[in-house]
Structure 1
Amino acid sequence: MLSYQHGYHAGNLADVHKHATLAWVLSELTKKDKPLSYLETHGGRGLYDLGSPEALKTGEAAAGIRKVEDWFPPADPYARVLARTRQLHGRRSYPGSPLVAALCLRPKDRMAVAELHPREGEALERNLRPHGARIERRDGAEMALTLTPPDPRRGFLLIDPSWEVKDEYATIPDLMEKVHRRWNVGILMLWYPLLPDARHAPMVQRLERSFPDGFRHEVRFPPARPGHGMEGSGLFTVNPPWRIGERADWLSQRFVTL
């Protein structure tokens, strides 16, 4: 579907969970001199204004990054990305995952991001153009299957759907299994929401059967406003990098204080 726009939700607690993990993983990967490939299936616009009417309407950023930014010391990879984003785009700016990745990668790394929504795709092209990213205006699953295995083979795929279509809970595991068969060395990370009906549970059970060495990390948090359905955030990682459990534990300790 093409109705989802992340501007209403940018900087929420799920973004904090996802982006703080993403920045850490890419920081670890770029410690090695070898180049890497970064792929993302659902890019959004890549850059958001937390003072926009959309962000102010939902209050999710106020209950998210605005509330918890002091969790992250200045040397933390996520804190560095936030600081650089504001330096480049102003104090109200917030990076989506494509910009988080772009600010962590090096000139020798390669990056390709898909976005099918026309307006979001146009904005993504504007926001990522200075970083040399390849923008694919097509279905993210199609891109992932077409571009894997990438060159260089060392790399990372982020799958971050809107979850507006219920059958994604069945089709996303299919995608991850297909990509893994094509690119068995790639790190594959899936983000999913935790909702009251636990619709994610069968999907995660299947992923754990398909990838017994995968790494699952979930955090719970209060609703951003009365009636808000999301009550937590999950990440499932195939070929998890070394020490990701330490980062997950560090984040979990902070989320339980909310």
Structure 2
Amino acid sequence: MLSYQHIYHAGNAADLHKHALLAWALDYLTAKDKPLSYLETHAGRGLYDLSSAEARKTAEADAGLGRAERGAWLDEDHPLMRALASVRRQHGDHAYPGSPLIAQHFLRRGDSAHLAEMHPAEHAALAQVAGRAKLYSQDGFQMARTITPPTPRRGLMLVDPSYEVKTDYTEIPGFFQDIARKWNVGTLALWYPILTDDRQRGMVARLSQAFPEALKSEVHFPPAKPGHGMVGSGMFVVNPPWGLAEEAARIEALFRG
């Protein structure tokens, strides 16, 4: 559980899908003059250097962010590209924001952020860039159970585990139901991999049964290398902001093209 480091995968096709929708949702939610809470259960280090040896070892960003930039998928006013430009102005041309820094770009002074990360090195790196966010060096699922409903009650939670713990697939549907009962106004967003062995299918089916009105967005792409098990990315969003379904459909069409 503590071996995963996202630097090897930062900016890949799954990040592009996930972060485009996250940034759009946060941009929409912060357009209203009402405070909100942002929760993240598996935050990572928050800031990535795509020129680092780790990132270049896999070069996964070439097929994600790189593909989008070459194809002009997102114009400069898209929320993700605005967040990316802001981070690069501060940290250099090869910087890539993880979801905590994407959220930081949109959150305002009256908003709150709660970020959980158990990996000691990732947590230490996150502390350097997290700003006013409250950090938790503990299991993110437990953090969410403890602080929901948050103050302010309006807000969004991102659940983005590495799925190295195989029980995540069986336990997440129940976790989402528990959080939704406690925090029925919250937007709950789950990222999941689409795998060649389809192990995610049962989890998604249970979530869809529990939350029939939720948004499910899936994109497919070639494996990062021959034999790699991940061939797509999914986002399941309970209480999606108005308009997110249309943005998701637009992003999905870009991947198909």
TM-score by length of 2: 0.98
Q: What's 1:64 paired with?
A: 64
Q: What's 1:12 paired with?
A: 12
Q: Does structure 2 retain, via aligned residues, the 8 Å contact 1:38–1:110?
A: yes
Q: What's 1:210 paired with?
A: 210
- What is the CA RMSD across the aligned residues, in angstroms? 0.8
- How far 1:244 sits from its partner (Å)? 1.0
Q: What's 1:235 paired with?
A: 235
Q: Distance in 2 between matches of 1:16 and 1:104?
A: 17
SS in 1 for 2:144: helix
Q: What's 2:81 paired with?
A: 79
Q: What's 1:34 paired with?
A: 34
- How far 1:188 sits from its partner (Å)? 0.2
Q: What residue identity is the alignment partner of 2:94? A: R
- How far 1:227 sits from its partner (Å)? 2.4
Unaligned runs of 5+ in 1: none
Q: What's 2:183 paired with?
A: 183
- How far 1:224 sits from its partner (Å)? 2.2
Q: Deviations over 1:88-107 (max 9, x none)?
A: 10001000011111111111
TM-score by length of 1: 0.97
Q: Distance in 1 between matches of 2:112 and 2:9?
A: 28
SS in 1 for 2:35: coil
Verify: 1:199 aligned to 2:199, yes or no: yes
Q: What's 1:96 paired with?
A: 98
- How far 1:26 sits from its partner (Å)? 0.3
Provide the aligned length of Structure 1 versus Structure 2.
255
SS in 1 for 2:4: coil
Divergent runs of 4+, >4 A: none
Q: Distance in 2 between matches of 1:66 and 1:225?
A: 16
Q: Does structure 2 retain, via aligned residues, the 8 Å contact 1:47–1:99?
A: yes
Q: What's 2:53 paired with?
A: 53
* Higher mean displacement: 224-233 or 91-100: 224-233
Q: Deviations over 1:208-245 (max 9, x none)?
A: 11111111110001122222221000000111111111
Report sequence identity in percent.
55
- How far 1:66 sits from its partner (Å)? 1.4
Q: Distance in 2 between matches of 1:110 and 1:141?
A: 18
Q: What residue identity is the alignment partner of 1:6? A: H
Q: Distance in 1 between matches of 2:166 and 2:102?
A: 28
Q: What's 1:160 paired with?
A: 160
Q: What's 2:246 paired with?
A: 246
Q: Distance in 1 between matches of 2:50 and 2:78?
A: 21
- How far 1:49 sits from its partner (Å)? 0.5
Verify: 1:126 aligned to 2:131, yes or no: no
Q: Deviations over 1:188-222 (max 9, x none)?
A: 00000000011111101100111111111100011
Q: Does structure 2 retain, via aligned residues, the 8 Å contact 1:59–1:225?
A: no
Q: Does structure 2 retain, via aligned residues, the 8 Å contact 1:220–1:232?
A: yes
Q: What's 2:111 paired with?
A: 109
Q: What residue identity is the alignment partner of 1:207? A: L
SS in 1 for 2:197: coil
Q: Deviations over 1:110-133 (max 9, x none)?
A: 0010000000000001111xx311
